Every structure is written in structure tokens, then in C-alpha cells.
Structure 1
Amino acid sequence: MMFSSNSRRSGLLAVGALAFSVLLSGCAAPHAGSKMASAPSPAAAAPVEVAVLAFNDFHGNLEPPRQSVGMPDGQGGTAQVPAGGVAWLASALDSLRAKHPNSLTVAAGDLISASPLASSLFLDEPSVEALSRIGLDYAAVGNHEFDRGTRELLRMQTGGCEKLTLREPCQLERFAGARYHYLAASTLTASGAPLFPASAVRTFGSGAAQVKVGVIGLTLRGTPMLVNPAGIADVTFADEADTINAEVPKLKAQGADAIVVLIHQGGKQAGAPDPNGCGGFIGDIQPILARMSPAVDVVVSGHTHADYICEMPTSDPARRVLLTSAGLYGKELTEITLTIDPAAHRVTARSARNLIVQSQPFTSAKGLVALSPLVPAYAPRADIAAYVQRYVDASKAFATRPVGKLSGPAERGEAPAGSTGGPLAHLIADAQLAATRSAGAQIAFMNPYGVRAALVPAADGTVTFGDIYLVQPFGNALVTETLTGAEIKAVLEQGFDANGPEQVLAPSAGFVFRYDRRQPVGSRITAITLNGKPLDPAASYRVTMNGFLALGGDGFTVFKAGRDAVTGPTDIEAFEGLFRSNALVEVPHDARTIDAGG
């Protein structure tokens, strides 16, 4: 299923008509014996340059997320640059559009859900509207777009105020729906048709200087592992490479000179942070690219929250594809430049770079992150800032309410420690254990990638609801179930298997395990104790986790085998409860997960 669309911004389509000249015959007399002078051939049309401006994993971060982007400082070290905020993103896009008369703005999924309060309290309606206002054209559908089910996702596109969740829609204004287009080639309804159009074609220029860019959008096949199955019972998710390869000839038949894929799947690079690097790249996107048609010119990716610019192999060893990702939360923006030959109908040159959307300084768990002279600083676009402020003001009653005191900053862990969740993941596990003792809980586990931000209290230790909501914006109900010791070991092993990125589950206090990556998959957990005693493989234990994990989320499918499940409070209620029951919450620093391999 496909459609064609012209730009909504009048300046972007009109300017694509690059001038070309036709040689005129001179006034000299014709050669003797000739009946007439031969007509000259028209000159070939000049190449057309088209910019694809891309981002991914915005997650409703209307305000600067109080996070930074690491980059080389030019002296062998790493500089941290404060970045993000949709008003700053708008200014960065405007500056690039001024540079590129022909441009297309795209995103690779997870634009909404798992969002801060100013967006999530309002069902992410303000994020959809803000992204529409800054000129987003096309977006792939990520797994988080399905968090509230397919019907609510359809409402995000078409608008309206039908109540499809527990929260009220249209609280501040009538929701008009996205003015950008979702593309979902691999998300199929019962009829076999895509939930949203599979692809689109955008035309730039006219006459002999006209070029067409085809865009395919799709999500990852593993989406059912990442969302509530009840919300997606009416759709299935097809193989990514097969879907792309089937769509390419359809776009070529429409005259596409260049093909761009937007896919919510990705990878990560190793080593020191470099937004424009590709060192030691690895990820689930690789086998998709290896089977993908070499006719694809660019793949804009996401999901892993990483930044990279890579040239990757495709199904044709002689042709590589440009692969990009712009981190997360609108902190970066990828500028992709395509030079297209309108006569040969192909891309003759391409390049890409990730730009950091530097915004405003903030205080992290490690101290002040100041503005950096290494990259430009953008001013927030006034109209977008004013729109966001309406929703920030409306959420303040929730955001500024104090919930308790914390002994100091609790870090979530940055790469490579991000796979453990740091002290903050352990604190969350402690909170969940305390909240479910009445269901018999003896152990609680937190998935590190579910910890979204560090928890930094005010100078006097005060923590607000807005602070803890930034950490856990999901509202997942807690589930307490019975597992044997052998099943607990098996679920810990799943954090080190070959299915998806590594995650070292963060346990509650009293539970300690050792792991060794040098051992074979399935045998990497080398020791487990509970309250100082070895875990008995045959004994039964009551274990708490969030509902996402209970459904097998993040690949921890052993949790689905749990018995005698009891549903408890939400994760955010449990976290707030920990603060309410303690005059001062201490940040845990005990060793609960031990890398035996060094």
C-alpha cells in the first residue's frame, strides 16, 4: 500500500526546480550544401541535491531532558554537551532547511510513550502536535507507539477525542491528529494490508530536473515482545527485510530515484562516544541489512537509543547502504545529503552527519553540564516554546509535588554500565519488593533499560513526583509470581544470551549473583545467593517484576512461566511509596551483580 504526497510547506516543493539551460542556435549562415542548420542538443539537467533530516526515539521529550551527548573533545577526551527540547529541535531544523532548499524530515519511530509528564499526562497529544508544527513529514511506527494499543495509535494519526484509555483525551484542546504520515509496511491487519501506508513518494523539482525520493517505514518484528499483547491482538509483524524487498520494486515503478528506509531497529557502536562514528558496530539491524535490496540508498534507524553513521553491507557485496541513527529524545539530528542524477535516476553521492541539538545547561548526578563551545547553541523557537509551556504549566501540579527525600544523586549507569541500571535500578527493585511484600514477595527484579533518567534531588534532598516520573514513565502494574530457583537462574541467563542487547537484571537487596561472559551462553550465571545462602534450584520463591517483564518483555520470556500471579500497584506508585515510608531514602551502593570475568 502506497501513496504520494506533496510538501505542506510551500517553499520546499517550489524550490526543487533547479534551472537548466538549452543551447540556442546561433545566427551564422548554414554550411554550403546544407538544407538547414542541425538543432543543438539540450544540456543535461544538473544533479539535484535533496536533504533528508532525521531523528528517532523522541519519546515525548518536549522539554530539554536534562541529558547530554558525548563527543570527542579534540584532545583525546570526551565532552558532554547539554541537548534536546523540541523548541531547540525546531530551530535546528529551520537552520538546516535554510541551507537545503529541497528537504524531507523523517523519524524512525518511538516518538511517543514512555514520555515525561508534560506529554504523557495528555496521552502524548502535545508531542504529536509539536512534531507536526516543526514540519515532520514521515515517521516509522516504533514499538512504543503500540503501548496504548492500535486503536489509540490510529487516533494519533486521525485525531479526535474518543476515550480509548483510562486517561481523558483532549484535556486542553481538541486533538487534530498528526499532520505527518505514519508508515508501517510490516504491521499487517487481519486482511493482510498494512495498518498505515507502507511507503510514500516525494517529488522535488520539475521537468528534466525532477527527482523522486521513495520512503518506506516499518517497525521491528520483535514488537510483540515489547508491548502488552492485548493491545496488538489485531495486527501481526512481518519480516523486516522481506517487507523492504517487496516494497522496493513498487517504489521504482513509481519512478523513485532514491529510496530511504525508516526502520525502528538498530545497533550500537563500541568505544568512546562519537556521534559520527561506527566503531565496533553491532546490533539486530545487521542481519536485516545483509538481506536487504541493494537498491536502498539510506536506512534511518532507531530503537537502541544510540548514535552512529555507518556504511553497511547489503545483499550485494558490491553495494553498501548508508545507516544512521540520532540517539534519542531529540538531542541529535541527522543531516543526510543525497545528490541525485535526474537523467540516470540514481544517487551519485551521499553523506551524513549527526548534529547535536545543544540547548541549555543542567545539573546531572555528577554536577553541572555547561554549554560547550565545540558545537553551535540553538535558541528555542518562540512559537514552539510557548506551545510546550501550556502543557508544562498544566502538568506542574503533578510535577512539583514533593514525594520525599533522597540521600544523594542516584545514577542509572551510562555505557557500558547502562546494561546494569546502576544504583538507581537497585533502588527501584527495593521499592517494588517493599510494595509487594503482602503478596509474599521475596525478590524483585528491575530491567535496566526501563530506567529512563538519573534521579537527582534538590540541594536539600527533596525529590518531586516529576523527578521520579522521569525515571519511570510507564505506569506498569507490578506482578508477583512463583518461580523455582532454576527458573530464576534461567531468566538471569536470558540477560546474557544472543537475543537482543545485554541486560543485567537489577535485583532487590539481599539477592546477589555472579556472571562470567567467558562462559558459554546458558552457563554465564556462576553463583546466586539470597540473604547469604545459595539459591535452591528446586525451591519455590515469590518474585516481583513489572508487568512488561511479566509478559516476557525485553526477551525475558521465562517470567511468562510464573505461577500464582498477583497484580499489585503500579511501578510509579511503588516508587513513591518507598519515599513516603522513609524519612530519608538511602541510595544503595552494595554489590548485587558481580562481573566474575573482570
Structure 2
Amino acid sequence: MHARMFRLTAGAATLAAVGALAVALPAAQAQPDNDSRTRPGPTVDLQLLAINDLHGALEPPTGSNGQVTHRHEDGTTEQLTAGGVEYLATGLREAREGQRRSLTVAAGDLVGATPLLSGLFHDEPTIEALNELEMDVAGVGNHEFDEGWEELTRLQEGGCHPVDGCYVEGREFEGADFPYLAANVVDEDTGRPILPPYSVQNLNGARVGFIGVTLEGTADIVTQEGIEGLEFLDEVETIDRYSRELRRRGVNAVVVLIHEGGYPADTAYNNRCEGGADGGVSGPIVDIAEQASSAVDVFVSGHTHQPYVCAIPDPSGRERLVTSAASNGRLFTELNMKYDLRSGDIVRASVEGSNRVVDREQPAAADLTALIDYWSELAAPVANAPIGYISEDIRGRGAGTPEFPLGDLIADAQLAHARELDPSAAVALMNPGGVRADLTYAASGDEGDGVVTYGEGFTVQPFSNTVNLLDLTGEQLLQVLREQVTGVNESSPKILQPSAGLTYTLDLTRSGAERIVADSVRIDGEPLDPAATYRVAVNSFLAGGGDGFATLADGGNPLVGDDDMAVLAEYLTANSSAGAPLSAPAADRVTVVQ
């Protein structure tokens, strides 16, 4: 396993890196959070193994979704191939060996936006895999609500799907063996959480409370009908409330499983996380970690798909670890600490952690292989059907640029479909978060190089959105472009992927709405006319104002088209063949100044 250890050590005066990164913590600050001033009691070892943002990646993920960056001591980097639950199971089981008190936990988005192997069966295969992984407790993420909160409840409790039923006669889905936690997801009428807010786990006398929280902005990034009647509360206020409640119950050791994250300065999984008071990480998780109750000993985070194990000061100035294990099961975080049996608390200064690579060269876990084979056989008739041909990798968000080739390809497909419905359609826009993987040239199964199967396409577009048409004035369309870099998207822009025909300049040296250069916007080479009406194609998620694009929800004359995955498949089939495969679009529709 490749790993770099991060440890909070009392009395250290400097940062050191000899097998571990030591973060200075004065010994006087290593008191239990209840400030009992009692002498330390006998301690026992406690281990936490954590994942986040698995997204149903049961089979080894392909392309950039299946790689992690390793930084060598000399500063050079290399890409390591990682992921796959067969190997994740092996890694977790090896890490648990010799541990009397070990828990496996998760920080949301275990399901949702999943490849066909899981998504075709409403993510039952992923829940069954998590049961085999011996998951103990998980917080919810925004994607747990992709099919609505009632479906999330079914995944927890079991039972056949209300529409599709059971997939094999006599085999009923039994549900999750572990509790999902949703402390800040409440019924807007009663104010009560829809799932338990926390779970107290007893490990041979060591009692640890886990609070599960998703980002307060979940309502802005999921389909509205799935969360009707729900409210998502402030993360810090929720954490503080249930930390106090756990204390009243005599539970002093507290871990937060939070589906909100940050962005490390160095994206290598073994980064040193250096960089001042914020520990080398930026983003929403920093403010939450700095403000939330000092009773919390560790934050296991997610959502941003980034790798980090960083120390961030709590409100009392004492540092605590905040972790994230990237996504798609490529990494897991190992946390080791001491638990004081007298105070019933985690010894903060003892906490150390590292992200460990899920190496595909280790043996695959036979029980997970059998599970994958079982569901793969059921999915094969759909998954293996060819839908198109490509001549090279077509990169999605892994391209690392605001505009990326696969986003343009999907937008072009949606515009072509829109023009079949209404020849006046002028442009299509695709949300970047809806592009879940790359299309890779190399064969991932029995098909030949360059063949795109339905299963591979579904991995790219798993949400079952529809392609919708709506009318926008030129002024409204300009406002949509500005919403990429303002409002909820100001600090972390969401650049819509444009179809052919739309061009403009994105000037990152400017601030706010001025980053969209208004007089650069062109439709089919003509300047945008603020008073004209344009027919625009977007998916149903965006049409509802998702991802902070509120202006799209005001579009007029709506028309609902086909499922977006069907649209992509139709486009690939119509525009490629074995003899004339598609090349990656140039991704040159947005001129970026930086």
C-alpha cells in the first residue's frame, strides 16, 4: 500500500516527516474536550477506516476516474491505477488485521451517479457490496437523494423496488446492514431528521458517536421532486447540537461524517498538506472545521472527490484531522488513535491518518468478485450492446480544464436531438457535474478497442434526465453564463459545456460576473442579441434551476425530449462507425484568459 501518515503529536516544536507528518500541538492543549483536568487514564487503540464518494464504482474505474497521483520525495509525480471493490475489500481487511477495535465508515455519495452495473438495479448491488465490506456507519451525501428520499429509505430497510420489483424470483433485497445518518436533513413540517442523526458505536468498551451531515446546499444540486418536503440545515449548527446531545448521553468521543469538502493545494493523494493555518486545504470544509464544536475529534469529509488528510484548528485553537479519500474507491483513509477509558474520549494528540491506495495488483476478494459476477450476468444483455466508436480517449472532467471534450460531445448530442424536436434550437448547455467519467478507447471488457458500449455510456450519463427545450432572451442567456461564476458558483465556478455554435471568452483575471466577457458571446458567429429569443436545450436537472442556474428555471415555452443517455447513444450510433470513429472535440468554444 502507498501511504503517507499525518499525525497530531503533543509537544512537537516543528514539522517533521519521517514516515509521518507531525503537526505541532502544545501538550497543554491535549486535554480532553470536557476539560476535566483529570490525569489521563489507561488507553486502548482505536482504528477508523473511511471512504467517501464511491458512486457505485464496483468494477475498477477506467480513465482518470481510476487513477491517483503519487508524489515522490524528489517532487516528481506518477499516475497509479487504483480502485475496484474487489481490491478495496482486500485493502480494508488487511488494514483491520490485529485490530480489536476497528470501524469502517463513510461520508456520503456511496450510491447515485453510478455505473450501469449498479444503476440498472437501483444501486442494490452497491449496498450489498458495502455489506460485504463490513461498513459500520455512513453519512448521507447529495447523491443518496438522486432517486428521492423514499428510495433512500428502501435502500436502508430493504424490499423490492416499488416499480421494477425483484430482479430474480425468490431473491429479495435485504437492505443495508449499516445505518445511514442524516442529522441535518429534516422534514420541513416536523423539523425531525428523516434518518437517525447519529449512531453510538461500542467497541469493547470504547464508545464513539458518529454524526452524519450532508452539505446545506444539497437542495441546489439534486432534482427537486426527490427532496420535496425536506429541508437541509446549517452544517455547523447541526454538528454543535448533536455534539451536545452526545455529551449529555455520556459520549465524549465524537466523529463527524460530513459530505462537504475542500481542495488541497497539492492533489497528490500523499500530499504533505502544508500551507499555513488552513493546513494546505481550502474550500467549505475549512470554515466548517474551524467553527464546529471542539467536542468533535475528527472530520471524515467528501463531496469534492479530492484526497487530503489535513490538520485544521478547532474553535479553541486545537488542531484536528480532516480527511477525504478522493472518490470511486481509489483510496481509503486509515485513522489510528488512542481512546482514554477514564475520560471516554479520543486522545486528540494521538490521532494519525493516511490515505492508502487501493492497489489492483493485490489479490481480489473472492466474495466481492462473485457478487460482481452475479450482477454482471444480469446486466450483460444491456451493458454490452455497442452504441458507437471512438478513435481516442474522450476526456470528461478529468481533463482538468473548464471546457472539456466529452462535455462538448454531450452538448452536441443534445443539440442534435433538440433540432429533431424543434429545428429552431440554437444551442445546448451541459452541466459539468453531469459528466461522470471519460470515454476510453482501450477495451474494458470483451469489446474491441474504440467500441463504446451502452454500459460505458451509462457510466458517463447515469441520471436519467431528459433533454428539455426552453426559450431564453439573449439577456437571460447572458445571465445564465454569468451564473457560472456568481452566486453559489462564485468561489467554485461551474462552467457549462457548450454545443457547437456558442462561443465566448472567460476571463479569470477578472472577478464576479465580469469574468464572462459580454461582448464576446456569439451564437453561430453572430453577437448575442439581448432582445432576441433563443431556443436552448438543457437537461431536466438544469431546467429546474439545478447547480445554481436559477435563470434556466424561468425559461419559457418548455418542451420535454428523450432520456439523455438515449440521446447520447443515438448520437454516437448515427455519427460513428468502426470505419469512421469519432475523434475528441477540440474543446475550443470557450476562450479562457488566466
TM bracket (short chain): 0.7 to 0.9
Query: How far is 1:236 from its partner?
Result: 1.3
Matched residue, 1:365: none
SS at match of 2:213: strand
Query: How far is 1:460 from its partner?
Result: 5.2
Match status 1:76 vs 2:75: yes
SS at match of 1:195: coil
Match status 1:522 vs 2:513: yes
Query: How far is 1:122 from its partner?
Result: 0.8
Letter in 1 for 2:54: F
Matched residue, 2:239: 244
Distance of aligned partners of 1:233 and 1:169 in 2 relative to their CA distance in 1, 3 Å threshold: farther
Q: How does 1:329-408 map to 2 (within 5 A)?
A: 329-348=328-347, 349-359=350-360, 377-408=361-392
Cα distance in structure 1, aligned partners of 2:151 and 2:193: 16
Q: How does 1:284-295 map to 2 (within 5 A)?
A: 284-295=284-295
Matched residue, 1:322: 321
Query: How far is 1:45 from its partner?
Result: 5.1
Match status 1:127 vs 2:126: yes
Q: Which shows bigger deviation, 521-530 or 452-461?
A: 452-461
Matched residue, 2:574: 581
Distance of aligned partners of 1:497 and 1:45 in 2 relative to their CA distance in 1, 3 Å threshold: same
SS at match of 2:255: strand
Matched residue, 2:485: 496
Match status 1:87 vs 2:83: no
Query: How far is 1:204 from its partner?
Result: 2.6
How many residue pairs match? The answer is: 529
Superposed CA deviations along residues 103-141 of structure 1, whole A, max 9, x for unmatched, are 111100111111111111111111101101210011111
Letter in 2 for 1:426: D
SS at match of 1:344: coil
SS at match of 2:42: coil
Matched residue, 1:160: 159
Cα distance in structure 2, aligned partners of 1:60 and 1:378: 21
SS at match of 2:513: coil
Does the 8 Å contact 1:56/1:110 carry over to 2? Answer: yes
SS at match of 1:509: coil
Q: Which shows bigger deviation, 271-280 or 87-96?
A: 271-280
375, 393, 408: which one aligns with 1:426: 408
Cα distance in structure 1, aligned partners of 2:302 and 2:61: 18
Superposed CA deviations along residues 469-496 of structure 1, whole A, max 9, x for unmatched, are 1211111111111111222222122222
Distance of aligned partners of 1:490 and 1:278 in 2 relative to their CA distance in 1, 3 Å threshold: farther
Cα distance in structure 2, aligned partners of 1:215 and 1:296: 9
Match status 1:435 vs 2:417: yes
Does the 8 Å contact 2:267/2:307 carry over to 1? Answer: no
Matched residue, 2:25: none
- Normalised by the length of structure 2, the TM-score is 0.86
Matched residue, 1:213: 208
457, 460, 463: which one aligns with 1:471: 460
Does the 8 Å contact 1:490/1:558 carry over to 2? Answer: yes
Cα distance in structure 2, aligned partners of 1:44 and 1:238: 37
Distance of aligned partners of 1:194 and 1:272 in 2 relative to their CA distance in 1, 3 Å threshold: closer
Superposed CA deviations along residues 180-216 of structure 1, whole A, max 9, x for unmatched, are 10111111123222111111112233xxxx3321110
Cα distance in structure 2, aligned partners of 1:155 and 1:295: 33
Could you say what the CA RMSD is over the residues aligned between the two structures, in angstroms?
A: 1.8
Q: Which shows bigger deviation, 288-297 or 122-131?
A: 288-297
Matched residue, 2:202: 203
Query: How far is 1:590 from its partner?
Result: 5.0
Does the 8 Å contact 2:509/2:593 carry over to 1? Answer: no
Letter in 2 for 1:295: A
Superposed CA deviations along residues 396-425 of structure 1, whole A, max 9, x for unmatched, are 1111111122232211143642x43x1111
SS at match of 1:201: strand
Cα distance in structure 2, aligned partners of 1:460 and 1:296: 50
Q: Which shows bigger deviation, 276-285 or 553-562?
A: 276-285
Match status 1:62 vs 2:58: yes
229, 233, 237: which one aligns with 1:234: 229
Matched residue, 1:566: 559
Does the 8 Å contact 2:314/2:320 carry over to 1? Answer: yes
Q: Which shows bigger deviation, 136-145 or 218-227?
A: 218-227
Cα distance in structure 2, aligned partners of 1:435 and 1:177: 38
Match status 1:115 vs 2:114: yes
Letter in 2 for 1:350: V
Superposed CA deviations along residues 436-482 of structure 1, whole A, max 9, x for unmatched, are 11233210011222211111235653221122112111111111111
Superposed CA deviations along residues 27-59 of structure 1, whole A, max 9, x for unmatched, are xxxxxxxxxxxxxxxx98531111111000111
Matched residue, 2:33: none
- Normalised by the length of structure 1, the TM-score is 0.85
SS at match of 2:191: coil
Does the 8 Å contact 1:484/1:540 carry over to 2? Answer: yes
Cα distance in structure 2, aligned partners of 1:179 and 1:170: 20
Cα distance in structure 2, aligned partners of 1:194 and 1:204: 26
Distance of aligned partners of 1:391 and 1:425 in 2 relative to their CA distance in 1, 3 Å threshold: same
Letter in 2 for 1:193: R
Query: How far is 1:525 from its partner?
Result: 0.7
Unaligned runs of 5+ in 2: 1-38, 275-279
Does the 8 Å contact 2:397/2:435 carry over to 1? Answer: no
Query: How far is 1:258 from its partner?
Result: 1.4
Unaligned runs of 5+ in 1: 1-42, 360-376
SS at match of 1:436: helix
Aligned sequence identity (%): 39
Matched residue, 1:595: 592
Matched residue, 2:4: none
SS at match of 1:354: strand
Letter in 2 for 1:519: R
Does the 8 Å contact 1:294/1:321 carry over to 2? Answer: no
Superposed CA deviations along residues 70-111 of structure 1, whole A, max 9, x for unmatched, are 111344221111111111111111111114221111100111
Query: How far is 1:320 from its partner?
Result: 2.6
Does the 8 Å contact 1:429/1:507 carry over to 2? Answer: yes
Matched residue, 1:37: none
